């Protein structure tokens, strides 16, 4: 039986001088192997919710458990070394080669040179980049989509059970974005890790997630499968999201 990988227990986040919660008393369970997308408009609390998992932000109230352990009891640095993290800006070190970027954390963990080289080659193959062609290049010599693939490989280097992705495809063009989405589905299916991905794009959220967390004004409006959300929207905000997606579809139907 699958166990919860992440448990939110009445979790809130408020900022000094703010009148409203950035995240407002959220309770939910995310199970091992799930691909969860977190959907919401700007300021909805989706990124704040994600960043509390690896303690980049600390909850103001409540508790977050990682495989049954309260993350407040885990050293933040040690916690982050157990969790993969990919952001929109990629964050590759420009003065390091692709191989050196991927090896950043393994080097801190005192892996041997042979271990790091083997893992780097495996990960570049996994994200669709030929190791012999790319590992000696520098980030500036790669396209945005290729850099994002390297960022994903670097996050996977320590074989984390949980991957956090904060709008990872927001800065790439539409065609590259679709290819990267397909790659991410393939990689998740092969690894059986728990993925959480933040997005403001409803089509991306419903395509990638086996479940979707829909947030508005710090609260979770609905947490369910894409099919159940479409069939049974929980409130007016969810209905408005679905309506906006349908309007986009009607625009393309009108052209054809």
pLDDT in tens, 66-82: 999 999 999 999 999 88
What confidence score (pLDDT) does residue 238 get?
A: 95
pLDDT tens digits for range 188-214:
987 889 999 999 999 999 999 999 999
Distance in angstroms between the alpha carbons of the first and the last residue of the chain? 48
Taking the C-alpha atoms of residue 52 and residue 64, their distance in angstroms, rounded to an integer, is 8
- pLDDT tier for residue 142 given thresholds of 50, 70 and 90: very high
Grouping H, G, I as helix, E, B as strand and the rest as coil, residue 83 is: strand
Helix (H, G, I), strand (E, B) or coil at 221: strand
Higher-pLDDT residue of 89, 145:
145
| Cα-based torsion angle of the residue sequence 38, 40, 44, 49 in order, rounded to the nearest 10 degrees | 10
Instruction: State percent of the chain over pLDDT 90.
Output: 71
Question: What does residue 211 show for φ and ψ, rounded to 5 degrees?
Answer: -140, 155
Does residue 188 contact residue 106 with C-beta atoms inside 8 Å?
Answer: no
Query: By mean pLDDT, which of 7-21, 92-106, 179-193 is the weakest?
Result: 179-193
What is the model's pLDDT at position 62? 97
Rounded CA separation 43/212 (Å): 17
Residue pair 161/194 in contact (Cβ under 8 Å)? The answer is yes
Residues ≥6 apart with Cβ < 8 Å to 154: 92, 101, 102, 104, 105, 123
Q: Which residue has the higher pLDDT, 165 or 253?
A: 165
Phi-psi region of 167 (alpha: psi -120 to 50; beta: other; left: phi over 0): left
What is the mean pLDDT of the segment spanning 113-138? Answer: 94
The pLDDT of residue 256: 63
* In contact, 214 and 230? CB cutoff 8 Å: no
């Amino acid at each position: 039986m699958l166990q919860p990988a992440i448990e939110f227990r009445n979790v809130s986040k408020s900022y000094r001088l703010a009148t409203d919660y950035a995240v407002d008393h959220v309770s939910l369970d995310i199970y091992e192997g799930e691909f969860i997308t977190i959907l919401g408009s700007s300021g909805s609390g989706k990124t704040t919710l994600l960043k509390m998992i690896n303690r980049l932000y600390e909850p103001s109230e409540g508790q977050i458990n990682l495989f049954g352990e309260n993350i407040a009891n885990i050293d933040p640095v040690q916690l982050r070394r157990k969790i993969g993290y990919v952001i929109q800006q990629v964050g590759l070190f420009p003065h390091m080669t692709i191989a050196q970027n991927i090896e950043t954390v393994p080097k801190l963990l005192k892996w041997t040179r042979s271990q790091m080289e083997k893992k780097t080659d495996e990960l570049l193959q996994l994200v669709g980049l030929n190791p012999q062609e790319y590992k000696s290049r520098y980030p500036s010599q790669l396209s945005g989509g290729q850099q994002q693939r390297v960022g994903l490989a670097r996050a996977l280097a320590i074989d984390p059970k949980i991957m956090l992705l904060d709008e990872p495809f927001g800065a790439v063009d539409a065609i590259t974005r679709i290819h990267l989405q397909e790659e991410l589905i393939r990689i998740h299916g092969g690894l059986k890790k728990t993925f959480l991905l933040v997005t403001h794009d409803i089509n991306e959220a419903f395509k990638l997630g086996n479940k979707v967390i829909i947030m508005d004004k710090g609260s979770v409006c609905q947490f369910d499968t894409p099919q159940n959300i479409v069939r049974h929207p929980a409130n007016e905000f969810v209905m408005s999201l679905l309506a906006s997606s349908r309007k986009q579809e009607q625009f393309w139907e009108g052209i054809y």
